[in-house]
Amino acid sequence: MSKFLQLFNRLLFLLRRKQLESELEEEMRFHLDMKVQEKIEAGLSPEDARHLALRAFGNITLAKEDSRTMWGFRYWEILWQDLRFGARMLLKKPGFTLAAVVTLALGIGANTSIFSIVNSVLLRPLPYEDPDRIVMVWMDNRKLKIDQDIHSYANYADYRAQNQVFSEMTAISQRSFNLTGEGEPERVMGAAATSSFFSVMRVTPVVGRAFTLDEDQRGRDKVAILNYGLWQRRFGSDPQIVGKSIQLNGISRTVIGVMPAGFTFPGKETNVWVPLAPDPQLMSNRSGFWLTVVGRLKPGVTLEQARAEMGAIAKRLESQYPDINASYGVNLVPLHEQVVGTIRPALLLLLGAVGLVLLIACANVANLLLVRAAAREREIAIRAAHGASRSRIIRQLFTESMLLAMLGGGLGVFVALWGLGVLKSFSPSDIPRLDQIAIDKRVLVFTLAVSCLTALVFGLVPAIQASKPNMNEILKEGGRGGSAGVRAARARHLLVISEIAMALVLLIGAGLLIKSFSRLQEVNWGFKPDHLLTARLQLPRSKYADAQQVRNFYEQLLQRLNAMPGVQSAGAVSDIFLSKTPNSTNFSIEGQPQKIGAESIEVPYDSISPNYFEVMGTPVVKGRPFNDRDVEGSPLVVIINQTFAREFLPGEDPLGKKLKYDSLDGPAPWFTIVGVVADTRRTGFDSEVRPETYIPHAQEPSAGMTLVLRTKTDPAGLTAALGNEVLSVDKDQPVYDIRTMDQLLVEKIAQRRFSALLLGLFALLALLLAAVGIYGVMAYSVAQRTHEIGIRMALGAQKRDLLGMIVRQGMILTAVGISLGLVVAFALTRVMSELLYEVSATDIQTFIIIPLILAGVALLANYIPARQAAKVDPMVALRYE
């Protein structure tokens, strides 16, 4: 502790050097003046008084000098000396310095950029009050194997009333609204939430107020709160916004508040909040699932306690309402986990990978230093002979290492700045909080710490080695490799072995990721993804109250879209592409016993336009697609996919069979199966294909539809035209999420592409560094053995033998390194198995090919110096000295 205080004071003194000098001067003058005055008052003459005072004071210069020593400038002088000397030594060997600094800069820079991503994505707390107390409460749907499913209101109400672990819970339904009125109609994302939302999130509006308890009641809920961005953009930050009314989905609502800037929970783009206020029938409904539930843990309650209690309530609800709640559990996920959970393993993997790259870089620099230390043996021995203590020599050498590391670190920050720019340009948009990534104070501290650590790792061993020279021998020997030679060679060999091992681990990891990424590219989607444009529409209930209106709108719109120039065909489907939670319901098949409760099975159902499969390019493998005669009033029809047929009608002809969906209101009608379509991976590449059913939009209209356009030209070029067509059918109807299918699919695999690309890059860097390391060590060893090689040649050794001898030596190191690396890789790649797609973590192919590649590169790095050795002229070599 007091050591730290002293160091701190030393630093303070150093910074205030000038001031200290003048203060000391003044205080001594004061002292003398007082003394003189004292003597004069005692009756002496001014001259005598002055004389006596000076005598009593003693040597002024010495006192000042001693004081300066006390300030510890000597300490800094030594450091300064070491630094200057170190800098001179580095400048003397610019090649060595450049190689070391660049190697370190690459290593440290890569670490800095990955850490700055980790810092802002994983480490920085979420921008809410006590964010670690906020927990997502999901339904664990064991029936559909969806562990983050949404709740019914009745279940939510029971959870909320019966638990003792949450101080407050809120139910949220993500909505999207057509915002109309002044200006263009606009589609805004929003959320309906209970008034408890504000106490769960602990957020208060910056303008106006939050929802009140009575606004949770239907009829009093015609209010809205705006997101800060929307308030700025659409309403020009109007300070008088509170009390004004806006039109959402054709319903007038009074604005009562504006949320703080940056607050967008639950969605990334939540722009508007309205009260949830369900009607009483919906409140008592247990089987309609539509609510995202979030809770704030009571102080002192742990996540485990909450899990236990909520799990118990779920069990109770399961046995209480077996026909609905059977196999529905509860799944608690902390909010932070929810936000960063999917990206965390990839980021940690990358952080580990850059750590390895830096270690390899350190090994290279340590090698360089060992070689240099050998060259400086004499210099160091002479210093020691002149009385430099061992600690003084270590300090000097270590200062040089520190200097190298700091140069590398400084340059590394620039490498990181550049690297981050590149990273951001191709990183996936679904990395949470990507926009906040920056090199902040914490990142810089990290870089500084890593640089110091780096200096310790690469500098300490060479410094200690070099500081214990056997002086007699070195000074006597007159120049050629001293006694430390053997020891240093062993150290260099160990470094090379570990470098190769680490590079192999990285290469295998990258190989696995790249292989799984290429598997992804070959996924059979079950439809033709090219030349497809998709867009989403949601008709407001206020304007399209009955089914006929909805039907008319889509019929009219699809007619226009089909006639659009550049469009081959246009269709529509009610579900959203690649959504993990499709609309689904229980069903039963005619002639099969009806399954209820835990036995019951859900299937997704989708309303489609008759030409949907044709537009998507999904083949109808049996029966027929829908046609214009499948309308309201005609017999109800359904098309199933192959998985449905396989699972529920095995060995039977599905055509003509009937199924019905369990609906709440009244007896459900039977639908006749008229066709079977090929399976598609509509919910994403990484989930298994599930049974699916399709019904004609004309018979079962849906207000929300996804438009799909098969285009003749580049689909992205039709975006604006599509919007205009929609407006010409209804001028208040916005269309949103206009994307090409290629874009949608790329977004889905972007995260994997990101990590595969980066890990590949790091592995390549590691390979390069390791190759340079082997080359360096072998070249040095050959140079040292010139004499020996000359003798061997003079004694009749053939070039081929020499080549073999040296290459063999290098390849033994390589082989040891590779075996070590294989063992480590075998143990380590398991941790990345969740990042792999249809590739085993111990994929044989990868574990064979990658070591061969590495061995090939190592062979090359060995061969070049070996050939040099074989070219040695024995006469020159023998004279060499």
Partner 1 sequence: MVKDQGQTRSELLPGTLEMLVLKTLMRGPMHGYGIAQYVGQTSDEVLQIEEGSLYPALQRLLLKGWVTAEWRQTPNNRRARYYQLTPLGRKQLVVEAANYNRIIEAIARVMQSA
Contact positions toward partner 1, by CB under 8 A? 2, 5-6, 9-10, 13, 23-24, 26-28, 30-31, 33-35, 55-60, 62-64, 66-67, 69-72
CB-count exposure of residue 374 (10 Å: 0-12, 13-18, 19+): buried
Kindly state the smallest distance separating residue 10's Cβ from partner 1, in Å: 7
Q: 20 vs 464, which CB is nearer to partner 1?
A: 20
Is there a contact between 794 and 842 (Cβ–Cβ < 8 Å)?
Answer: no
Q: Which residue has the tokens 């040296």?
A: 806
Query: What is the chain's alpha carbon radius of gyration, rounded to the nearest angstrom?
Result: 38
Kindly state the smallest distance separating residue 11's Cβ from partner 1, in Å: 11
Q: 66 vs 632, which CB is nearer to partner 1?
A: 66
Kindly state the smallest distance separating residue 98's Cβ from partner 1, in Å: 41
Q: Where are the beta strands (DSSP E) in 388-496?
A: none
Range list of H helices, 522-584: 547-562
Identify the CA nearest to 705 among candidates 607, 829, 574, 611. 574
Q: 5 vs 844, which CB is nearer to partner 1?
A: 5
Kindly state the smallest distance separating residue 76's Cβ from partner 1, in Å: 13
Q: 34 vs 852, which CB is nearer to partner 1?
A: 34
Q: How many CA atoms lie within 13 A of 803 on its CB side?
A: 12
Q: 66 vs 473, which CB is nearer to partner 1?
A: 66
d(CA 744, CA 763): 29
Kindly state the smallest distance separating residue 16's Cβ from partner 1, in Å: 11
d(CA 606, CA 597): 23
Identify the CA nearest to 171 among candidates 131, 208, 139. 139
Kindly state the smallest distance separating residue 446's Cβ from partner 1, in Å: 30
CB-count exposure of residue 187 (10 Å: 0-12, 13-18, 19+): middle
Kindly state the smallest distance separating residue 39's Cβ from partner 1, in Å: 12
Q: 57 vs 85, which CB is nearer to partner 1?
A: 57
Q: 27 vs 665, which CB is nearer to partner 1?
A: 27
Sequence-separated (6 or more) residues with CB below 8 Å from residue 346: 751, 754, 755, 835
Is there a contact between 113 and 416 (Cβ–Cβ < 8 Å)?
Answer: yes
Q: 12 vs 852, which CB is nearer to partner 1?
A: 12
Kindly state the smallest distance separating residue 64's Cβ from partner 1, in Å: 8
Q: 52 vs 475, which CB is nearer to partner 1?
A: 52
Length of the chain: 881
d(CA 845, CA 863): 27
Kindly state the smallest distance separating residue 53's Cβ from partner 1, in Å: 9
Q: 5 vs 720, which CB is nearer to partner 1?
A: 5
Residue 671 tokens read as 């639908």
Is there a contact between 136 and 334 (Cβ–Cβ < 8 Å)?
Answer: yes
Residue 760 tokens read as 């590949």
Identify the CA nearest to 287 among candidates 580, 576, 584. 584
CA–CA distances in Å: residue 422 to residues 353, 415, 419, 657, 747: 18, 11, 5, 57, 18
Q: 63 vs 827, which CB is nearer to partner 1?
A: 63
Sequence-separated (6 or more) residues with CB below 8 Å from residue 535: 706, 707, 722, 735, 736, 737, 738, 739
Q: 4 vs 387, which CB is nearer to partner 1?
A: 4
Kindly state the smallest distance separating residue 816's Cβ from partner 1, in Å: 53
d(CA 522, CA 525): 9
Other beta carbons less than 10 A from residue 426's beta carbon: 11
Kindly state the smallest distance separating residue 72's Cβ from partner 1, in Å: 7
Kindly state the smallest distance separating residue 50's Cβ from partner 1, in Å: 14
688, 689, 695, 698: CA torsion to nearest 10: 80
Measured in Å, how far apart are the chain's first and last C-alpha atoms? Answer: 54
Kindly state the smallest distance separating residue 77's Cβ from partner 1, in Å: 16
Residue 26 DSSP SS3: helix
Is there a contact between 689 and 679 (Cβ–Cβ < 8 Å)?
Answer: yes
Give the single-character DSSP code of 593.
Answer: P
Q: 5 vs 161, which CB is nearer to partner 1?
A: 5
Q: 31 vs 480, which CB is nearer to partner 1?
A: 31
Q: 24 vs 783, which CB is nearer to partner 1?
A: 24
Kindly state the smallest distance separating residue 81's Cβ from partner 1, in Å: 21
Q: How many CA atoms lie within 13 A of 636 on its CB side?
A: 15
Helix (H) or strand (E) holding 228: helix 228-235
Sequence-separated (6 or more) residues with CB below 8 Å from residue 443: 112, 115, 116, 119, 416
Kindly state the smallest distance separating residue 35's Cβ from partner 1, in Å: 7
Sequence-separated (6 or more) residues with CB below 8 Å from residue 71: 10, 13, 14, 17, 20
Kindly state the smallest distance separating residue 9's Cβ from partner 1, in Å: 5
Q: 26 vs 130, which CB is nearer to partner 1?
A: 26
DSSP line for 573-592? ESSPTT-SS--EEEEEETTS
Q: 53 vs 461, which CB is nearer to partner 1?
A: 53
Is there a contact between 578 and 533 (Cβ–Cβ < 8 Å)?
Answer: no
Kindly state the smallest distance separating residue 391's Cβ from partner 1, in Å: 22
Kindly state the smallest distance separating residue 44's Cβ from partner 1, in Å: 13
Q: 16 vs 712, which CB is nearer to partner 1?
A: 16
d(CA 536, CA 734): 9
Q: Say if strands 602-608 and 693-696 run parallel, antiparallel, or are unpaired.
A: parallel
Is there a contact between 866 and 800 (Cβ–Cβ < 8 Å)?
Answer: no
Identify the CA nearest to 227 among candidates 247, 251, 206, 211. 206
